[in-house]
Amino acid sequence: MPPLDKFFHKKIALVNLASGTTAVEPWPRSLANEAERCIPGGSAAAAVLSGIYGDALVLATGPLTGTMSPGSSLLVASCPVSGGAYAHVPILLRHGTALKTTGVDFAVVSGKASSPSILILGSKGPRIEPAGGLSGLEVPGMRKFFRARLPETRHSLLLCGPASGWGSCGSAALENGTSLDRGHLAPWMSNHNLLAIVLTGGGSLPFAGGRRPLFDKLGPKSGIGGFLDVLEHVEGGAQAKGTAEKILGRPAACHSCPWPCMAYLKPGPSTNGLLCADHAGFAALCGACPDSLPSALEACLRLGIDPVSGASAFRGVQPDAFGKAIENLFAGVPPAKGPEFSFPLLSQKEAPERALAGMVLGICPILVQRCPDIPVGQWAAGPDSDPEAASFGDMLKASLQLAAKARTDAQQEDMEIRHG
């Protein structure tokens, strides 16, 4: 039996928005085969599944998602972009665990719905529903809509705010408005008439682990130092640090992370409870309109605007002119897409590889970089293993290669079986 079996349900949710059909099936054969030699999680799994299912959105957890490993709530959303490439968007907070507790490891969403729709992934299987009153709402209204519609669940939301219709500068918002989507996920959803994906979880995990050696090794942190540390490594972050120190208050972390790197804005007009999780977005808006920063952050979260793209439209706008700037945005030409990057890379030499490894394992790519003293292999060994062990190190290397590689012969076989 492959050593990774215990970490996965070995089930996949398949959703076709065009036909309105859904199913939960065992992993396709090529993915099961890859599990013999590599870690078939996160962006590596998405590379295999996108080879089989073509122009599809892939939501992927990793082997460590939902375990006792620090930072293990990551979900990876992989979206087709031009030229057959895929953009991998890290979805933080607790979305990975929310998908895995539905009883599947991955969800593949293909086709275009004929009318605005909602996809609900729950422990009773996936279902597609009409969007109804969700259409036209801003992000806070969308969250309220789901609280009323699904009062019995603690759901995780991926939402297309009004700006998703602008294409590449719209970003998918999570349940409290935060996102690291740089105009990939929201435009895909909008183009396929999918206004929201709801992860309701509630079921069991295949393996959670009982020990927390890496938690013990990391120890807890508090304060907004984590936000400032990450901010320093994004474009314009060093200049934004002083502003961040002035306007940020309570720190916040994803479920299962002992080192918070997010923070709430200090209470103020219309910004109560506003969570800042996007360091690059914070720095971009701070550079564009430092006097209006809280209003700019609030507008991006409310409307689902990627703040890196939105910064160009808000440049130099004063607080008393902010409402007009938003009106102009909706009435005129939306901002151009910002520079291409999806999450902060810290400065150490091996940062890109550590971030990629996190995206395969289901561990936050920012946290893996923030702990340069912990070899990635220790994470890959799993929560209950000897902290010095690195038994999955070679498999991880193979996964990183897989994430970067195009369709294989085995995937081609699966395609032939599926499409006759």
- Residues forming the site for ligand SF4 (CB under 6 A): 71, 92, 253-254, 257, 259-262, 364, 366-367, 370
Rounded Cα distance, 293 and 266, in Å: 12
Q: How far is the CB of 367 from ligand SF4 (least distance, A)?
A: 4
Q: Cβ contacts of residue 92 below 8 Å, gap of 6+? A: 73, 74, 174, 178, 180, 254, 277, 364
Q: Cβ contacts of residue 254 below 8 Å, gap of 6+? A: 71, 73, 92, 93, 94, 262, 364
Of the pair 138, 278, the CB lying nearest ligand SF4 is at 278
Of the pair 248, 366, the CB lying nearest ligand SF4 is at 366
Of the pair 159, 367, the CB lying nearest ligand SF4 is at 367
Of the pair 109, 231, the CB lying nearest ligand SF4 is at 231
DSSP category for residue 173: B
DSSP category for residue 120: E
Q: How far is the CB of 180 from ligand SF4 (least distance, A)?
A: 9
Q: How far is the CB of 152 from ligand SF4 (least distance, A)?
A: 27
Of the pair 207, 259, the CB lying nearest ligand SF4 is at 259
- 288, 316 in Cβ contact below 8 A? yes
DSSP category for residue 362: T
Of the pair 50, 69, the CB lying nearest ligand SF4 is at 69
Q: How far is the CB of 353 from ligand SF4 (least distance, A)?
A: 17
- 181, 171 in Cβ contact below 8 A? yes
Q: How far is the CB of 381 from ligand SF4 (least distance, A)?
A: 19
DSSP 152-169: TS--EEEE--GGGGGSTT
Q: How far is the CB of 252 from ligand SF4 (least distance, A)?
A: 7
Rounded Cα distance, 359 and 224, in Å: 25
- 158, 294 in Cβ contact below 8 A? no
Of the pair 228, 366, the CB lying nearest ligand SF4 is at 366
Cβ burial 198-235 (10 Å sphere, 16+ → b, else e): bbbbbeebbbbbeebbbbeebeebeebebbbbbbbbbb
Sign of the alpha-carbon torsion through 157, 161, 164, 168: negative
Q: How far is the CB of 16 from ligand SF4 (least distance, A)?
A: 32
